[in-house]
Amino acid sequence: MTIKVGDKLPDATFMTFGSEGPKPITVDELTKGKTVALFALPGAFTPTCSAKHLPGFKEKAAEFRAKGVDTIACVSVNDVFVMKAWGADQGVGDDVLMLADGNGDFTKAVGLEMDGSKFGMGTRSQRYSMVVKDGVVETLNVEQGGEFKVSSAEYMLAQV
């Protein structure tokens, strides 16, 4: 079942890269008492994700913060080392928290997985964005296959 507006995010643990290496971060740690602009995409270093999706959130980070967003988080079904390398390649610094959903547990729990097997990618995340306040989904924007419109930073900014 796909998550919807008004639902609480499921318990899950991501991996992120800290100063001492890989470290876990739970959904609760990420969202408790915070407003989070969370977006997900099919894969690090993929064309639309690298050329448009992630860069848009990096470029608009100050605007999100000015509207009360505490954290901008990027989720992908990739391992923590790939997410670290991609964040460095994209120069996101502290603007975007790169979250590895390596086994796709969060993606499956929110019902937003897709089958990327025909591209040799296996199970991945659909492209989407959501505003989460204190763990509850306030807005949810899921793209239709192959599109990049409603999950963009620009579209989401209008919803915050």
Task: Look at residue 59 in the predicted model and tell me its pLDDT.
Answer: 96
49 tagged catalytic: yes
Does 47 have pLDDT greater than 80? no
98-136 residue pLDDT tens: 999 999 999 999 999 988 888 877 788 999 999 999 999
- What letter does residue 12 receive in the DSSP assignment? -
Higher pLDDT, 122 or 79: 79
- Could you tell me if 102 and 13 are in contact, meaning their C-beta atoms sit under 8 angstroms apart? no
Name, in order, each residue with C-beta under 8 angstroms of 40's C-beta and a sequence gap of 6 or more.
74, 75, 76, 101, 107, 112, 125, 126, 127, 128, 129, 151
7-34 residue pLDDT tens: 999 999 999 998 899 999 999 999 999 9
Q: Which of 38, 41, 49, 140 is catalytic?
A: 49
Task: Look at residue 119 in the predicted model and tell me its pLDDT.
Answer: 84
Dihedral in degrees, nearest 10, Cα atoms 76, 11, 131, 39:
0
Q: What is the pTM of this model?
A: 0.94
Task: Look at residue 44 in the predicted model and tell me its pLDDT.
Answer: 86
Tokens of 132: 């989460």
State percent of the chain over pLDDT 70: 100
The full DSSP string for 58-122 is HHTHHHHHHTT--EEEEEESS-HHHHHHHHHHHT-TTTSEEEE-TT-HHHHHTT-EEE-GGGT--
